[in-house]
Structure formats: structure tokens, C-alpha cells
Amino acid sequence: MEEGKGKSREQGRGKREEGRGKGDQLVRLRGSLYALFPVPYSLFIVLFLFAGSLSLAGQTSKKPSPPPPQTDISALLKTAQDSLEHQDFQTAAKSLKIVVASQPDLVAAWFDLGYAESGLHEPDEAAKDYRKAIELQPDLYPARLNLGILLLEDHRPDEAAEQLAKAVELKAQDARAHLYYARALNLAGKPDLAVDQFKESIRLDPTQATAHYELAQIDLQRKSYDDARLLFEKATQLDPKLAQAQLGWALALEGLNQPAPAAEHFGSYLAAKPDDLETRFHLARVYLRLGKNQQACDDLEKVYEASPQMAGVAAALGDVNALLKDLPQSERFYKQALVATPGSADLHRALGQTLLDEQKYTEAESEFRASLKIDGHNADAAKGLATSLYMQKRYAEAIPLIEALLREPQPPPGLYFILATCYDDLKDRPKALENYEKFLSLSQGVLPDNEWQARQRAKLLRRELRK
């Protein structure tokens, strides 16, 4: 039976009977395997609780208490069993409490009461019931397993590991016991021991998609990306509906610096989980890395439509629209992002650049100045401010900014050309010629159009200076 898929009491019985071999007495269960209450997926726990009537023969302690009239006990047990079959846990628990009050050494009743109270979402009471069954019969494997799973659901992995270790001892060939024990160890912060148990569970039953998936998660956390990729791939083959395996596969491929195939698997995951906005946002970043700006924009718009206040989405839409040259949209989204985070120097710089590209030079200047007020070392904002001043023909104000940028390590050659034109327009011929020549010595074919202009101006300036 695939972990994580709830089955009815009768379905559980059928599955168990199909898998029963000679000598497999399942701790004398006359009933069946039950699936109850999957916990949140992030915990990687899928609960399977055993329930059913244990054979009363040989299931009581050595000194049984005198039972009430047999007809009363039989009627109560039948009511409980019928109620459990129909998942009427309230009625079952009521009957079973009367039974254990009258005959407190009846193992079967304590076990079924634990199951019923689990169904009523009373984990503390269910745990007490299972502990009582174990006290009466320490080798009762289903009770050990159920209690361990219940403790996992209650976020008590250390206690769960103790019970599941006993379950593994009692039934070492049951892949499920190793799987649950592995989960408990992993949640208890013992991943090395958990890996051994996951591998043993897979060895005993290689068809478990979730076991492969959870082992892959540990490899992913350890940055063993290739091992994780292979396990996620296997999990997907075993259960194509396990969407999280596609997500893990994508993350492993990202770790291996393979963004293109990673994007495909992110897409497969989102086809099954379209409401996962964080992953869709992440995929948009992957598309940007691949230069697929329109695909990135499409996904970002879906995120924005579903959650316009999501952190970072407006700024990302500002970025991608700038790349797509949709400057009005870029301006719109940057301004919205600044409403949420007005203290972001980089957002002011980005908005300034968009405004500069829109030839809104005065507004651009204001944004660049705001950016530098927050972060005085933002070289891109300083360059933007210099450019906005230059485009407004305020050359005297632009020159100090450009010269400061040229003092930075490895400045771009184009700055010398801009500085030269500033001095040229201010009629400072010696400094203009000096910077044209510096630009030509550094550019060397990088900016051919500017180089042609620089050569022409340099020739003219030399002639003028010789006069």
C-alpha cells in the first residue's frame, strides 16, 4: 500500500491478506492495517495505524481480572468493532472505555481504544491506551508501531524513535517499521542513522516512492546533489503523482548548475501544484537566469495576481519589465515596491535607471540622490546621478561624480569619454584632450562609435591647442 493514501478498514484488511505469507502472523492480528491522518508533508510523515480485533485468546495478562457477564463484554466489543468499521470513533471509544474499566487487562480493548481515540484527535489519550497495551504485552508490534507514529504526529521524534526502534526489533523484515523509524531519527536530528534505516526500508521494499523521496531530501540538505537527483528521479518513476519529487529533482539540478532542465521540473511540479507561489517566484528567477524574460514575466504576473503584497514580487516585475523595455510598467512596479520598502537604496537606483531610460532626467536625478543618501557607496547610483546631470547639461556638477567613479578599481573606459565631453562642453580643452586620449588607449574597439568621435575631437583639440 502506498504511504500517504488513506484506506478504509476493509481496504486495509484486503491489502494485508494479499501480502500475508507463511509464518507472517502480524502479531496475531485478526483485523487489518489502517491508514490514518497524514501529518503535514514538510515533516515527511505518513501515518499508518493498526486497528482491529486482537484475538482474545492469549492476549490477556497472566492474572486476568474477573470479567463481567460474557454477554455484556461480547456486546460491547461487537459494538466497538462495528463502529470502528464505519469510523464511528465516538461510539467505539465509549464502548471500549466500559470494557477496559470492567476488564483492564484485555489487550485487544486497549489497542482498539487507542485507535478510536486517535480517530477522535485525542493523541494524549491514544498514547496512554497504546502504552497500556504495551505494558500488558511488551512484544505487541502494532502497538509499538502505532504509538511511534502517533508520537511523530505529535512532534515528539525522540520518544517516537524509542518505540519504533522496538518495532524494528520485533519485526525486522517489515519495510514500514524501518521507514517510520528513519523518519523519527531524521526529525530527532540524527540523519546518519536515518539514512541507514531509509536504505534498509528500500532494500526490503524497493517500490516505496516516499522512502526514495525522503532519503533524497537528506542528500539534498547535504548538498549531495547527484545522489539526490537519482533518488528523486526514482521516486517520480515509482509514483508519477508525487509532485514534490519533481520539485526536489529541480532543486538538485539547480545544485548541479543545470538551470535549463531544472526549469522543466519546476514546471512539472507547478502543473500539479499551481498555487505554490514561492516556487513559481523561484522559477521566474531561473527563467531570468536563462534569459527567458517573457516566461519570467508571465510567472511573476501570476504570482502578483494571486498575492500582490508578496515580498519582492513588485520589484521583480520592475526588473523584468525593464529588461523587456516596457518602461512604464517597470516604473509602475518599482514605485509600488518602494511604497512597501522605502529604505531600499537599490530600488531607488533601479527606479532611477528606468526614469533615465524614459528620459525623465529630473525625476531620475531625485531617485539616484535618494539611493546615495541611503548608501553612499552605491557606485551604480553615482553613475546614474552623473548621467542624469550630464543629460541635463549640468556638466560642472557631473564632473566630480565621474572623477570619483574613475578612482574605483577597473572603471569602464566609457567614463573617460563622458568626462572628456563634459570638459569639452565647458571649453576646458587640455582636460578634454587628456581624457579623450585616455579613453582611446583603453577602449581598443570596445566602443567603436565613441572611439570615432573621440579621434575626431582629439584631432581638432590638438590643432586648437597648437595655435
The residue with greater pLDDT, 127 or 6, is 127
Residue 96: what pLDDT? 95
Query: For residues 142 and 139, what is the distance between their CA atoms, to the nearest angstrom?
Result: 9
Residue 72: pLDDT band (50, 70, 90) is confident
Rg (CA), the chain: 35
**Location of C-alpha cell 541635463:** 392
Instruction: Flag whether pLDDT at 29 surpasses 90.
Output: no
What's the mean pLDDT in 56-77?
Answer: 58
Q: How many beta carbons lie within 10 A of that of residue 425, not counting itself?
A: 13
What's the CA gap between 121 and 113, in Å, rounded?
12
Enter the C-alpha cell of residue 386: 552623473
Residue range 285-344, pLDDT digits in tens:
999 999 999 999 999 999 999 999 999 999 999 999 999 999 999 999 999 999 999 999
pLDDT at residue 445 is higher than 60? yes
**50 has pLDDT over 70:** no
Look at residue 9 in the predicted model and tell me its pLDDT.
31
Q: How far apart are the C-alpha atoms of 216 and 195, rounded to whole Å?
A: 10
Work out the number of other CB atoms within 10 angstroms of the CB of residue 111: 31
pLDDT tens digits, 379-413: 999 999 999 999 999 999 999 999 999 999 999 99
Q: Is the pLDDT of residue 243 over 90?
A: yes
Q: What is the pLDDT of residue 67?
A: 54
Are 144 and 170 in contact by the 8 Å Cβ rule? The answer is: yes
The whole-number pLDDT of residue 142 equals 95
pLDDT at 66: 58
Which residues are registered as beta bridge partners of 34?
49
Q: How confident is the model at residue 54 (pLDDT cuts 50, 70, 90)?
A: very low
Q: Which amino acid does the sequence have at 319? A: D
Q: How confident is the model at residue 42 (pLDDT cuts 50, 70, 90)?
A: very low
Domains plus CATH for the chain?
A: 1-205 (1.25.40.10), 220-273 (1.25.40), 277-341 (1.25.40.10), 393-467 (1.25.40)
Reported pTM = 0.77
209: which 3 cell numbers?
516512492
Q: Residue 364, class by beta-carbon neighbours within 10 Å (0-12 exposed, 13-18 middle, 19+ buried)? A: buried
427 CB-near residues (< 8 Å, 6+ apart): none
* Burial track 436-464 (b if 16+ CB lie within 10 A, e otherwise): bbbbbebbeeebeebbebbeebbeebeee
Q: What is the mean pLDDT of the chain?
A: 87
pLDDT of 8 above 70: no
CA atoms within 13 A on the CB side of 35: 19
The pLDDT value given to residue 467: 77
The percent of residues above 90 in pLDDT, for the chain, comes to 84
Residue 235 C-alpha cell reads as 521516486
In whole angstroms, give the CA distance from residue 298 to residue 314: 13
Contact 263, 271 (CB under 8 A): no
Considering only residues 305 and 10, tell me which one the structure prediction assigns the higher pLDDT.
305
DSSP state, 155?
T
> Is it the case that residue 426 has pLDDT exceeding 60?
yes
Mean pLDDT of 116-140: 96
Pair 10, 91: CB distance under 8 Å:
no
Report the alpha-carbon distance of residue 110 to residue 132 in Å, rounded.
7
Inform me whether the pLDDT recorded for 61 exceeds 70. Answer: no
pLDDT above 80 (res 18): no
Average pLDDT over residues 72-94: 93
Q: How confident is the model at residue 279 (pLDDT cuts 50, 70, 90)?
A: very high
How many whole angstroms from its chain centre is CA 156?
23
